[in-house]
Structure 1
Amino acid sequence: MTEITETATPLIESPGTSSGASPADAGTAAPWWTSGVVYQVYPRSFADADGDGIGDLAGIRGRLDYLAELGIDALWLSPVYPSPQHDNGYDIKDYEDIDPVFGDLAEFDLLLAEAHDRGIKIVMDLVVNHTSDEHPWFVESKSNLTNPKRDWYWWRAPHADGGVPNGWRSAFSGPAWTLDDTTGEYYLHLFAKQQPDLNWENPDVRAAVYAMMNRWLDRGVDGFRMDVINFIAKRTELIDGPMPATDGGSPMGPQIHAYLQEMHAAVFAGRPGDHLTVGEMPGVSTADAVLFTDPARGEVDMIFQFEHVGLDHGDTKFDVRPRNLPALKQNLAHWQTDLAETGWNSLYLNNHDQPRLVSRFGNDTTYRYESATLWALVLHLQRGTPYIYQGEEIGMTNVRFDSIADYRDIESLNHYREAVEEFDLAPASVLAGVHAMGRDNARTPMQWDATPNSGFTTGTPWLAVNPNHTGINVAADRSGERSVFRFYQALIRLRHESPVVALGDFSLLEPDHEQLYAFTRSLGGETLLVVANAADAPLAAPLPAAVAGLLANAERVLGNYPRQSPGASLRPWEATLYRLP
């Protein structure tokens, strides 16, 4: 494996023939996603083709060559279905159409065909824990107590004390129950009140969902990212218990495995093609994940878990704690180790619900390039399927709007209102939490160039563009001496061509070190070593013995600084990949 270098005109040499085992030699014919990379698009904010200020499918289609050049294998679309947009598309009123703001089914078919022409798969967002309160199913369900679809949702009479059925709280503030005046009963919504939860204990609900999924697969889509899919199974003993349930914990019930196995049998089993299924699952453990992702069980290919992105939360996500590198390293290593024999990891540090990784985990000013590429190397060299969120590949940062009025996300707006109006907290301190952790950090428009609306739209963008787009944008990054985009290209190529990157064993080094992030990947006699200094300060030589001893005669493969002698002091946010003799 020869060195991959970075220059203004990139010279990225082929890693050549690896001395490691092939995927088949590693035990089985590995699915495409073990060596693949998925790119997430938030359609409202990616590219606007018609000038209305909202991104659309035609805009995405116009940027497919950019994504193909990056080298990704699959494109995950956040929801594009018809929606009242209370939660930016995660409140769906029709599962089988396209919202006119994004286009129509004909435009979707064009996107699908042109993506496939470029070797890019399309993964849809599946949101079936809840619907919109405008979905025809819910409109029928709430019409009267005897409607055939009444039991398609969770309805309960008021508690004996006249209040809500239990103490569950919505993820977006307030109780998870809303009273329907027409029928005098409460309906459950784990998220916004406009997002009533489906009752998966009703077999008719499950059959309707599976039929819908099959029709999208028949149309040609390549899989699903499943929104909060573990919540479809509810702990009914808490809903129907004699006392209100308390806040905290997961509502996930034990039925979840049976539901996912039934889904797999009804939708994927026997269907030609290798479709991707990734389940977003808040609150699950590694023991849960082994069961969910064991291929023999027929549930999902991988999950999104949230332990590592909760380590800097205090009492709430907006109560920000300083980054703890040892805790982060050890948590990610825990997932690597526990899923090593059975199962598979997804690898991510940001998405549409998380702040920008370079602002959260790195230094988004002085060392923006270095910290963006450090975390890219650290993440992509672990075992699992990497997910790139739009703009990550050019080092986009958080935004700091001056007023809460500039924000659009329902979670941030509800949090601010509750904290300021109900708990009498200082507006400035509440806004600081939104600056750090608000979901709009990830949802500002994609920064294509330095023009007034960053090349995203010719109209007025639905959410303001980050003011720093004049310096941080695709055009500037790709023409610069140091390009985050080209670094990501190199990492994707490594995963495609190197079995040890795709399938090798993981071993964390120096787990308690406050600056050093180092680990090895090994397969079939080949070992790679990642050495990274995740700090603004240099890390003086000699490096810890567990790392220094491996660097003798090590061959550099990729780095974010010019070459220096292995074992020398590490510069701020320096990250290097080595091949060991």
Structure 2
Amino acid sequence: MNQLAAKAETRNAQPWWRGAAIYQIYPRSFFDSNGDGIGDLPGITARLDHIAGLGVDAVWLSPFFKSPMADFGYDVADYRDVDPIFGTLADFDALIARAHALGLRVLIDQVWAHTSDQHAWFIESRASRANPKADWYVWHDAKPEGSPPTNWQSVFGGPAWTWDARRGQYYMHNFLKEQPQLNCHHPEVQAELLAITRFWLDRGVDGFRIDAINFSMHDPEFRDNPPAPDDGTPRTRPFDFQLHIYNQSHADIPGFLERLRGVFDEYPDRFTVAEVGGADADREMKLFTAGGNRLNTAYGFDFLYASRLTAAGVRAALQNWPAGGSWPSWAFENHDAPRAVSRWTRPKTADAFARMKMLLLAALRGNIFLYYGEELGLDQVEIPFEALQDPEAIANWPRTLSRDGARTPMPWSSTAPELGFTSGRPWLPVGPNHEALAVNVQDADPASLLAWTRRVLALRGASPALRTGDIAFHDAPGELLAFERAAEGERLLCLFNLGDVAQHWTPANASHWRPLLATGGAGDWTFAPHSGLIARYEA
């Protein structure tokens, strides 16, 4: 019996994904096996033991599909093939086999709101107004004076329309002009996406993270978006000036998700998570996961762009997903957001904060996502303009913080060139502070953040209360966050001081609470800044 089957036997009361800890890999930056400076699938396979050793349930791979890399894989040119810089389909199959042998499930990104402009579908679609794929993308005539069909703006800056002389029409793109918008209203497009789903599920993939799903369908009447009210939020791009009512979030999206779920239900133990951002994300996340016949969960953005981590903010986010409703997922970091330790604390308190943050993440009700290097405490790297790769940052420099700073190479060895990531020149520079945080350094230190992460995830994995239990909050002073988790007769008290001032708080029946894990000097119901405690109730 392999490790995956063994895990399934021990957790058969709930689906494997409910309460799972999932590790996100940005393939370009994880490990380079061939010296070209870019991480690849064989490199991931070679380092899966590190991930399995953390105690997570699954890995999520950001895109590795064939792509011209205008947006580093989020512009797909072939949904059924691996880009040569990452390897081959045989390399992917080997990765799946090794992951499953280690007890790890594998999730992959699916980017269905748009393709690359080099995808064969778009090349055919733009060739004429009368071909089999003419309506597979969103095309529209110019206004009488030649301007774009609507006032819609792209996320990355500028109009969401580009003129194409071949057809004498504009095509829509919510992101880069190299990412034309798929017409997901079209039944043939939907059928093809479902066929792609079967292709990857048949290869053994355990689930999908579906990128920007609320951008997948537009308003067929092509109405202008209304202006957004000025609420004081900084506006760094034209996209920020509109309410995005008509360029995205069409009411037909849930119907397609039900069709997708029908395919997933043909395969046992598979999983879907939606990425849903924007001002209306909360409503849409619940809509896309409602009724048990759509997606399993949605990926919350509550913490990814928050400039502070506050007790009130955590409490509000968690209470927004009550028991009996949709199942949430949480992340503090990902490939699109600055590293959390750089957003939420200062360098001198980064280690203490990272430990408290990891314990808090493991205590949240829902699925949790760790971003590669988060277990090491990696900080945001400042990338000079001449080294930038991120198209959004380049287009909006210096107003937009580069996503490259959270995509720098994984530091494997403090003594190897380029910190062991590659034998060549890395596609992004390694972090100047990352030598001391490298895996080999922390692996040898039982007091390291890496060792702490393993302990924390082991506790979550063994605890019914933390994996799937209910949550109830206590009122506590200042920035002290206090809540209980409970399931299957297990009752845990979780306390975290998110502020810079020590706090004291004593629970009822204090003598019955036995500490399980503590960090930052938490003890005797006194909590230093950036400390945390999980305790079990014993009658």
Which residue of structure 2 aligns with residue 564 of structure 1?
A: 523
Which residue of structure 2 aligns with residue 575 of structure 1?
A: 532
What percent of counterpart residues are identical? Answer: 38
1:130-161 deviations in Å (ceiling 9; x for gaps):
00000000000001111221100000111234
Distance of 1:558 and 1:235 partners within structure 2: 51
Which residue of structure 2 aligns with residue 470 of structure 1?
A: 435
Distance of 1:229 and 1:40 partners within structure 2: 18
1:191-248 deviations in Å (ceiling 9; x for gaps):
11000010011100011111111011111111111001122122334x2x3x565523
> Is structure 2 residue 353 aligned with structure 1 residue 371?
yes
Distance of 2:379 and 2:167 partners within structure 1: 47
> Is structure 2 residue 259 aligned with structure 1 residue 262?
yes
Distance of 2:103 and 2:340 partners within structure 1: 28
> Is structure 2 residue 376 aligned with structure 1 residue 394?
yes
Which residue of structure 1 aligns with residue 404 of structure 2?
A: 440
So what's the TM-score if we normalise by structure 2?
Answer: 0.90
| 8 Å contact from structure 2 (residues 289, 296) kept in 1 | yes
| 8 Å contact from structure 1 (residues 291, 297) kept in 2 | no
| 8 Å contact from structure 1 (residues 347, 380) kept in 2 | no
1:344-386 deviations in Å (ceiling 9; x for gaps):
11111111111111111233x2122211111111121111111
Which AA in structure 1 matches 2:41? L
Distance of 2:136 and 2:509 partners within structure 1: 59
1:502-521 deviations in Å (ceiling 9; x for gaps):
1211123337x542122211
> Is structure 2 residue 516 aligned with structure 1 residue 531?
no
> Is structure 2 residue 91 aligned with structure 1 residue 129?
no
So what's the TM-score if we normalise by structure 1?
Answer: 0.84
Question: Pairwise mapping of residues 191-230 of structure 1 onto structure 2 (< 5 A)?
Answer: 191-230=175-214
Which residue of structure 2 aligns with residue 278 of structure 1?
A: 273
Question: Pairwise mapping of residues 508-523 of structure 1 onto structure 2 (< 5 A)?
Answer: 508-510=473-475, 514-523=478-487
CA-CA distance at 1:288 after TM superposition: 3.7
CA-CA distance at 1:179 after TM superposition: 0.7
Question: Pairwise mapping of residues 313-332 of structure 1 onto structure 2 (< 5 A)?
Answer: 323=308, 325-332=310-317
Partner SS, residue 374 of structure 1: helix
| 8 Å contact from structure 2 (residues 478, 503) kept in 1 | no
> Is structure 2 residue 451 aligned with structure 1 residue 486?
yes
Question: Pairwise mapping of residues 86-485 of structure 1 onto structure 2 (< 5 A)?
Answer: 86-237=70-221, 239=222, 241=223, 243=224, 246=227, 247-250=242-245, 251-265=248-262, 267-271=263-267, 273-283=268-278, 284-294=280-290, 296-312=291-307, 323=308, 325-337=310-322, 340-363=323-346, 365-401=347-383, 403-416=384-397, 430=399, 434=401, 438-450=402-414, 451-485=416-450
Distance of 1:484 and 1:152 partners within structure 2: 49
Pick closer, same or farther for the CA change 1:288–1:469 going to 2, 3 Å: closer
Distance of 1:488 and 1:38 partners within structure 2: 13
Partner SS, residue 225 of structure 1: strand
| 8 Å contact from structure 2 (residues 473, 484) kept in 1 | yes
Higher RCO (CA < 8 A, seq sep 6+)? 1
Distance of 2:521 and 2:309 partners within structure 1: 28
- Runs of at least 5 residues in structure 1 that lack an aligned partner in the other structure: 1-21, 313-322, 417-426
Partner SS, residue 109 of structure 2: strand
**91-100 or 516-525: bigger deviation:** 516-525
Partner SS, residue 33 of structure 1: coil
- Runs of at least 5 residues in structure 2 that lack an aligned partner in the other structure: 1-9, 228-241
1:112-134 deviations in Å (ceiling 9; x for gaps):
11111111111111011100000
Which residue of structure 1 aligns with residue 231 of structure 2?
A: none
Distance of 1:52 and 1:23 partners within structure 2: 41
**390-399 or 471-480: bigger deviation:** 471-480
- Paired residues in the alignment total 511
CA-CA distance at 1:178 after TM superposition: 0.7
CA-CA distance at 1:310 after TM superposition: 4.4
| 8 Å contact from structure 1 (residues 38, 386) kept in 2 | yes
Kindly indicate which of the two structures has a greater share of residues assigned to strand: 2
